[in-house]
Protein backbone atom coordinates (compact mmCIF):
# COMPACT_ATOMS: atom_id res chain seq x y z
CA UNK A 1 0.00 0.00 0.00
CA UNK A 2 1.59 3.29 -1.02
CA UNK A 3 0.28 6.36 0.70
CA UNK A 4 1.10 9.88 -0.39
CA UNK A 5 0.74 11.98 2.76
CA UNK A 6 0.45 15.17 0.71
CA UNK A 7 -2.84 13.87 -0.71
CA UNK A 8 -4.23 13.71 2.82
CA UNK A 9 -3.13 17.20 3.85
CA UNK A 10 -5.52 20.17 3.56
CA UNK A 11 -4.68 22.31 0.53
CA UNK A 12 -4.33 25.52 2.57
CA UNK A 13 -1.81 23.79 4.84
CA UNK A 14 0.13 22.43 1.86
CA UNK A 15 0.34 25.96 0.45
CA UNK A 16 0.88 27.69 3.79
CA UNK A 17 3.87 29.98 4.14
CA UNK A 18 4.74 29.26 7.79
CA UNK A 19 5.76 31.88 10.32
CA UNK A 20 9.51 32.20 10.58
CA UNK A 21 10.61 33.28 14.06
CA UNK A 22 13.78 35.18 14.95
CA UNK A 23 15.21 32.00 16.47
CA UNK A 24 14.38 30.04 13.29
CA UNK A 25 16.31 32.58 11.23
CA UNK A 26 19.39 32.80 13.44
CA UNK A 27 20.30 29.75 15.52
CA UNK A 28 23.84 30.70 16.65
CA UNK A 29 24.71 31.32 20.31
CA UNK A 30 27.30 34.11 20.00
CA UNK A 31 26.61 37.80 19.50
CA UNK A 32 24.29 40.39 20.87
CA UNK A 33 20.69 39.55 20.21
CA UNK A 34 18.65 42.48 18.97
CA UNK A 35 16.46 40.48 16.61
CA UNK A 36 13.43 39.31 18.60
CA UNK A 37 12.20 42.42 20.38
CA UNK A 38 13.10 40.79 23.67
CA UNK A 39 13.83 42.74 26.81
CA UNK A 40 17.61 42.85 27.52
CA UNK A 41 17.03 42.58 31.31
CA UNK A 42 16.08 39.61 33.48
CA UNK A 43 16.51 35.79 33.54
CA UNK A 44 13.51 34.72 31.53
CA UNK A 45 13.76 37.47 28.92
CA UNK A 46 14.68 35.29 25.93
CA UNK A 47 12.40 33.18 23.77
CA UNK A 48 12.97 29.42 24.12
CA UNK A 49 14.32 27.08 21.43
CA UNK A 50 11.32 26.78 19.06
CA UNK A 51 12.30 23.25 18.01
CA UNK A 52 13.09 21.98 21.54
CA UNK A 53 16.20 20.30 20.19
CA UNK A 54 17.76 19.20 23.48
CA UNK A 55 14.65 17.28 24.56
CA UNK A 56 14.33 15.69 21.14
CA UNK A 57 17.99 14.61 21.26
CA UNK A 58 17.37 12.93 24.62
CA UNK A 59 14.23 11.20 23.38
CA UNK A 60 16.02 10.18 20.23
CA UNK A 61 18.80 8.57 22.27
CA UNK A 62 16.37 6.95 24.68
CA UNK A 63 14.06 5.48 22.04
CA UNK A 64 16.42 4.97 19.09
CA UNK A 65 14.36 7.26 16.93
CA UNK A 66 15.48 10.14 14.74
CA UNK A 67 14.67 13.68 15.89
CA UNK A 68 12.98 14.26 12.52
CA UNK A 69 10.34 11.80 13.70
CA UNK A 70 9.51 13.68 16.91
CA UNK A 71 7.09 16.56 17.56
CA UNK A 72 6.67 18.09 21.01
CA UNK A 73 3.45 19.80 21.99
CA UNK A 74 1.71 21.59 24.82
CA UNK A 75 0.53 18.21 26.13
CA UNK A 76 -0.45 15.42 23.75
CA UNK A 77 -3.75 17.30 23.50
CA UNK A 78 -1.92 19.71 21.19
CA UNK A 79 -0.76 16.79 19.01
CA UNK A 80 -4.41 15.71 18.72
CA UNK A 81 -5.67 19.19 17.81
CA UNK A 82 -2.92 19.85 15.26
CA UNK A 83 -3.71 16.54 13.52
CA UNK A 84 -7.19 17.92 12.83
CA UNK A 85 -5.75 21.17 11.53
CA UNK A 86 -3.28 19.41 9.21
CA UNK A 87 -5.60 16.81 7.71
CA UNK A 88 -9.27 17.69 8.18
CA UNK A 89 -11.13 20.16 6.02
CA UNK A 90 -13.89 21.67 8.23
CA UNK A 91 -17.44 20.71 7.22
CA UNK A 92 -16.11 18.19 4.69
CA UNK A 93 -13.77 15.63 6.22
CA UNK A 94 -14.47 13.13 8.99
CA UNK A 95 -12.65 11.33 11.77
CA UNK A 96 -13.55 8.07 13.50
CA UNK A 97 -13.32 7.06 17.17
CA UNK A 98 -14.31 4.02 19.20
CA UNK A 99 -16.32 4.74 22.30
CA UNK A 100 -16.11 4.86 25.21
CA UNK A 101 -12.79 6.64 24.88
CA UNK A 102 -10.86 9.80 25.72
CA UNK A 103 -13.14 12.82 25.31
CA UNK A 104 -10.76 15.22 23.57
CA UNK A 105 -11.02 13.56 20.14
CA UNK A 106 -14.68 14.55 20.03
CA UNK A 107 -14.09 18.01 21.49
CA UNK A 108 -11.26 18.69 19.01
CA UNK A 109 -13.53 17.47 16.19
CA UNK A 110 -16.22 19.90 17.34
CA UNK A 111 -13.79 22.79 17.70
CA UNK A 112 -12.46 22.15 14.21
CA UNK A 113 -15.98 21.64 12.80
CA UNK A 114 -15.16 18.13 11.61
CA UNK A 115 -17.70 15.31 11.59
CA UNK A 116 -17.02 12.51 14.06
CA UNK A 117 -18.09 8.93 13.37
CA UNK A 118 -18.36 7.12 16.66
CA UNK A 119 -18.37 3.30 16.71
CA UNK A 120 -19.07 1.43 19.93
CA UNK A 121 -16.40 -0.90 21.27
CA UNK A 122 -17.74 -4.43 21.82
CA UNK A 123 -18.57 -5.92 25.22
CA UNK A 124 -14.87 -6.56 25.90
CA UNK A 125 -14.10 -2.97 24.88
CA UNK A 126 -12.46 -4.16 21.65
CA UNK A 127 -12.90 -2.90 18.09
CA UNK A 128 -15.48 -4.80 16.05
CA UNK A 129 -13.70 -5.04 12.68
CA UNK A 130 -16.86 -6.03 10.79
CA UNK A 131 -18.57 -2.80 11.87
CA UNK A 132 -15.49 -0.80 10.97
CA UNK A 133 -14.78 -2.27 7.51
CA UNK A 134 -17.39 -0.30 5.49
CA UNK A 135 -15.91 2.99 6.72
CA UNK A 136 -12.33 2.24 5.67
CA UNK A 137 -12.87 3.23 2.03
CA UNK A 138 -14.54 6.58 2.70
CA UNK A 139 -12.15 9.07 1.15
CA UNK A 140 -13.35 11.87 3.42
CA UNK A 141 -12.43 9.81 6.47
CA UNK A 142 -9.06 11.31 7.31
CA UNK A 143 -8.13 10.09 10.81
CA UNK A 144 -8.95 7.03 12.92
CA UNK A 145 -8.17 7.60 16.60
CA UNK A 146 -7.27 4.54 18.67
CA UNK A 147 -6.51 4.94 22.35
CA UNK A 148 -4.46 2.03 23.70
CA UNK A 149 -4.48 1.39 26.60
CA UNK A 150 -7.91 2.95 26.33
CA UNK A 151 -9.18 5.63 28.68
CA UNK A 152 -11.51 5.10 30.60
CA UNK A 153 -11.71 1.30 30.12
CA UNK A 154 -8.02 0.57 30.82
CA UNK A 155 -7.58 -2.30 28.34
CA UNK A 156 -5.20 -2.49 25.39
CA UNK A 157 -6.82 -2.50 21.96
CA UNK A 158 -6.29 -5.45 19.60
CA UNK A 159 -6.34 -5.61 15.79
CA UNK A 160 -4.60 -2.26 15.33
CA UNK A 161 -2.33 -3.88 12.70
CA UNK A 162 -5.37 -4.72 10.59
CA UNK A 163 -6.41 -1.07 10.53
CA UNK A 164 -2.87 0.05 9.67
CA UNK A 165 -2.80 -2.43 6.78
CA UNK A 166 -6.23 -1.53 5.43
CA UNK A 167 -6.76 2.19 5.91
CA UNK A 168 -5.22 4.84 3.65
CA UNK A 169 -5.86 7.78 5.95
CA UNK A 170 -4.07 8.68 9.19
CA UNK A 171 -4.06 6.17 12.04
CA UNK A 172 -3.54 8.10 15.28
CA UNK A 173 -2.64 5.81 18.19
CA UNK A 174 -2.86 7.54 21.55
CA UNK A 175 -0.40 5.80 23.88
CA UNK A 176 -0.70 8.14 26.87
CA UNK A 177 -0.69 5.10 29.20
CA UNK A 178 1.71 2.80 27.31
CA UNK A 179 4.47 2.95 29.94
CA UNK A 180 2.21 1.13 32.38
CA UNK A 181 1.34 -1.56 29.85
CA UNK A 182 2.99 -4.90 29.04
CA UNK A 183 2.08 -4.33 25.36
CA UNK A 184 4.63 -3.02 22.89
CA UNK A 185 4.51 0.56 21.72
CA UNK A 186 3.68 1.27 18.06
CA UNK A 187 6.33 3.99 18.10
CA UNK A 188 8.75 1.59 16.40
CA UNK A 189 6.31 1.00 13.53
CA UNK A 190 6.46 4.52 12.09
CA UNK A 191 9.11 3.37 9.59
CA UNK A 192 6.66 0.80 8.25
CA UNK A 193 3.58 3.01 8.13
CA UNK A 194 3.95 6.56 6.73
CA UNK A 195 0.37 7.31 7.83
CA UNK A 196 0.90 6.41 11.51
CA UNK A 197 1.03 8.95 14.35
CA UNK A 198 1.79 7.68 17.85
CA UNK A 199 1.24 10.11 20.70
CA UNK A 200 2.78 9.76 24.14
CA UNK A 201 3.07 12.11 27.06
CA UNK A 202 5.21 13.25 29.99
CA UNK A 203 1.99 13.65 32.01
CA UNK A 204 1.43 10.08 33.22
CA UNK A 205 4.30 7.61 33.77
CA UNK A 206 6.85 10.44 33.77
CA UNK A 207 4.89 12.22 36.51
CA UNK A 208 5.02 15.66 34.88
CA UNK A 209 1.39 16.56 34.16
CA UNK A 210 1.84 20.13 35.36
CA UNK A 211 4.61 20.73 32.82
CA UNK A 212 2.33 20.10 29.81
CA UNK A 213 4.58 18.35 27.33
CA UNK A 214 3.33 15.65 24.97
CA UNK A 215 4.97 13.86 22.07
CA UNK A 216 3.94 12.76 18.60
CA UNK A 217 6.11 10.24 16.74
CA UNK A 218 5.52 9.94 12.99
CA UNK A 219 7.17 9.84 9.57
CA UNK A 220 9.37 12.89 8.93
CA UNK A 221 6.85 14.02 6.33
CA UNK A 222 4.04 14.22 8.90
CA UNK A 223 6.33 15.82 11.50
CA UNK A 224 7.25 18.53 8.98
CA UNK A 225 3.57 19.48 8.75
CA UNK A 226 3.29 19.53 12.54
CA UNK A 227 6.25 21.91 12.70
CA UNK A 228 4.86 23.98 9.87
CA UNK A 229 1.63 24.82 11.71
CA UNK A 230 2.55 24.74 15.41
CA UNK A 231 2.68 28.04 17.33
CA UNK A 232 6.32 29.23 17.10
CA UNK A 233 7.40 28.84 20.75
CA UNK A 234 4.87 26.26 21.90
CA UNK A 235 6.91 24.97 24.86
CA UNK A 236 8.25 27.47 27.37
CA UNK A 237 11.88 27.44 28.54
CA UNK A 238 10.72 26.64 32.08
CA UNK A 239 8.89 23.60 30.77
CA UNK A 240 11.76 22.51 28.54
CA UNK A 241 14.14 22.76 31.52
CA UNK A 242 11.78 20.75 33.73
CA UNK A 243 11.65 17.93 31.16
CA UNK A 244 15.42 17.99 30.60
CA UNK A 245 15.94 17.79 34.33
CA UNK A 246 13.82 14.63 34.61
CA UNK A 247 15.04 12.95 31.48
CA UNK A 248 18.64 12.89 32.74
CA UNK A 249 19.93 9.44 33.58
CA UNK A 250 19.67 9.35 37.34
CA UNK A 251 16.10 10.66 37.46
CA UNK A 252 14.97 8.20 34.77
CA UNK A 253 15.69 5.41 37.25
CA UNK A 254 13.36 7.12 39.71
CA UNK A 255 10.65 7.28 37.02
CA UNK A 256 11.02 3.52 36.40
CA UNK A 257 10.88 2.80 40.13
CA UNK A 258 7.72 4.87 40.47
CA UNK A 259 6.10 2.95 37.61
CA UNK A 260 6.95 -0.32 39.41
CA UNK A 261 5.40 0.98 42.64
CA UNK A 262 2.24 2.09 40.83
CA UNK A 263 1.91 -1.32 39.11
CA UNK A 264 2.40 -3.16 42.41
CA UNK A 265 -0.16 -0.89 44.04
CA UNK A 266 -2.58 -1.54 41.18
CA UNK A 267 -2.32 -5.30 41.71
CA UNK A 268 -2.85 -4.84 45.43
CA UNK A 269 -5.76 -2.47 44.86
CA UNK A 270 -7.48 -4.94 42.51
CA UNK A 271 -7.09 -7.78 45.03
CA UNK A 272 -8.60 -5.60 47.74
CA UNK A 273 -11.40 -4.24 45.55
CA UNK A 274 -12.47 -7.83 44.89
CA UNK A 275 -13.29 -8.02 48.60
CA UNK A 276 -15.43 -4.87 48.60
CA UNK A 277 -19.13 -5.78 48.52
CA UNK A 278 -20.36 -2.86 46.48
CA UNK A 279 -17.84 -3.55 43.68
CA UNK A 280 -19.61 -5.76 41.14
CA UNK A 281 -16.97 -5.95 38.43
CA UNK A 282 -13.34 -4.96 37.95
CA UNK A 283 -12.27 -4.52 34.33
CA UNK A 284 -8.79 -5.61 33.17
CA UNK A 285 -6.36 -2.69 33.07
CA UNK A 286 -3.02 -2.08 31.36
CA UNK A 287 -2.98 1.51 32.63
CA UNK A 288 -2.54 3.36 35.95
CA UNK A 289 -6.26 3.34 36.63
CA UNK A 290 -8.99 0.77 37.16
CA UNK A 291 -12.55 0.81 35.88
CA UNK A 292 -15.04 -0.76 38.27
CA UNK A 293 -18.76 -1.39 38.09
CA UNK A 294 -20.93 -0.79 41.14
CA UNK A 295 -24.70 -0.87 41.77
CA UNK A 296 -25.16 2.86 41.95
CA UNK A 297 -22.15 4.84 40.71
CA UNK A 298 -23.62 8.30 41.38
CA UNK A 299 -24.28 7.44 45.00
CA UNK A 300 -20.89 5.77 45.63
CA UNK A 301 -19.13 8.68 43.94
CA UNK A 302 -20.94 11.24 46.09
CA UNK A 303 -20.30 9.33 49.32
CA UNK A 304 -16.58 9.19 48.50
CA UNK A 305 -16.52 12.90 47.71
CA UNK A 306 -18.19 13.59 51.06
CA UNK A 307 -15.20 11.92 52.67
CA UNK A 308 -12.69 13.79 50.52
CA UNK A 309 -11.85 10.86 48.26
CA UNK A 310 -12.20 11.98 44.66
CA UNK A 311 -12.44 9.43 41.86
CA UNK A 312 -13.97 9.84 38.39
CA UNK A 313 -17.64 9.08 37.94
CA UNK A 314 -18.03 7.58 34.44
CA UNK A 315 -21.70 6.70 34.87
CA UNK A 316 -22.68 8.96 31.99
CA UNK A 317 -20.29 7.09 29.67
CA UNK A 318 -20.49 3.50 30.94
CA UNK A 319 -23.46 2.68 33.13
CA UNK A 320 -22.56 2.54 36.83
CA UNK A 321 -18.83 2.64 36.24
CA UNK A 322 -16.22 4.50 38.26
CA UNK A 323 -12.64 5.13 37.23
CA UNK A 324 -10.08 4.96 40.00
CA UNK A 325 -6.55 6.27 39.49
CA UNK A 326 -3.91 4.25 41.33
CA UNK A 327 -2.48 6.58 43.96
CA UNK A 328 0.30 6.32 46.54
CA UNK A 329 0.14 3.39 49.03
CA UNK A 330 -1.40 5.72 51.66
CA UNK A 331 -3.97 7.13 49.24
CA UNK A 332 -5.00 3.65 48.11
CA UNK A 333 -5.41 2.51 51.72
CA UNK A 334 -7.62 5.52 52.44
CA UNK A 335 -9.70 4.81 49.32
CA UNK A 336 -10.22 1.17 50.32
CA UNK A 337 -11.04 2.03 53.91
CA UNK A 338 -13.57 4.65 52.80
CA UNK A 339 -15.13 2.34 50.20
CA UNK A 340 -15.53 -0.40 52.81
CA UNK A 341 -17.28 2.03 55.13
CA UNK A 342 -19.89 2.91 52.50
CA UNK A 343 -23.12 0.95 52.25
- Which residues of the chain form contacts with ligand PMP (CB under 6 A)? 75-77, 102, 147, 151, 174, 176, 201, 203, 209, 214
Among 73, 85, 71, 77, CA closest to 219: 71
Residue nearest ligand PMP, Cβ-based: 75
Question: Are the beta carbons of 235 and 74 closer than 8 angstroms?
Answer: yes
* Cβ nearer to ligand PMP, comparing 48 with 154: 154
Least distance to ligand PMP from the beta carbon of 149, Å?
A: 8
Cβ burial of 118 (10 Å; 0-12, 13-18, 19+) is middle
Question: In whole angstroms, how close is the CB of 202 to ligand PMP at the nearest point?
Answer: 7
β pairing state of 196-201 and 279-282: unpaired
Residues 46, 237 contacting (CB under 8 angstroms): yes
Nearer to ligand PMP, 10 or 58 (CB): 58
**Least separation in angstroms between CB 238 and ligand PMP:** 16
Closer by beta carbon to ligand PMP, 172 or else 193: 172
- For β-strands 170-174 and 196-201, DSSP reports them as parallel
User: Please, what is the minimum distance in Å from the beta carbon of residue 27 to ligand PMP?
Assistant: 28
Instruction: Tell me the residue ranges of DSSP E strands in the chain.
Output: 70-73, 94-99, 115-120, 141-147, 170-174, 196-201, 214-218, 279-282, 289-294, 312-313, 321-325
Helices (H) and strands (E) in the chain, counts: 13, 11
Looking at beta carbons only, is 193 or 289 nearer to ligand PMP? 289
The minimum distance between CB 248 and ligand PMP, in angstroms, equals 21
By beta-carbon proximity to ligand PMP, the closer residue of 107 and 263 is: 107
CB-nearer residue toward ligand PMP: 268 or 325: 325
Please state the closest distance from residue 76 (CB atom) to ligand PMP, in A: 3
Amino acid sequence: MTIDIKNLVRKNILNLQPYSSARDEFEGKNGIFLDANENPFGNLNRYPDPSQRKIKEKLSELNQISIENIFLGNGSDEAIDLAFRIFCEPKKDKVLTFSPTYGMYEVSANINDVELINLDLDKNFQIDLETLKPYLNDENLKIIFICSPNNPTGNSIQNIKYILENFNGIVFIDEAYIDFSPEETFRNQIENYPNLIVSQTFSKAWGMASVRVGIAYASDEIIKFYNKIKPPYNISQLNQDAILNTIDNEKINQVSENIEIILKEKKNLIENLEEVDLVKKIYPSDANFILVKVDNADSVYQKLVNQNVIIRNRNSVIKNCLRITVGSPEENKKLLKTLKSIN
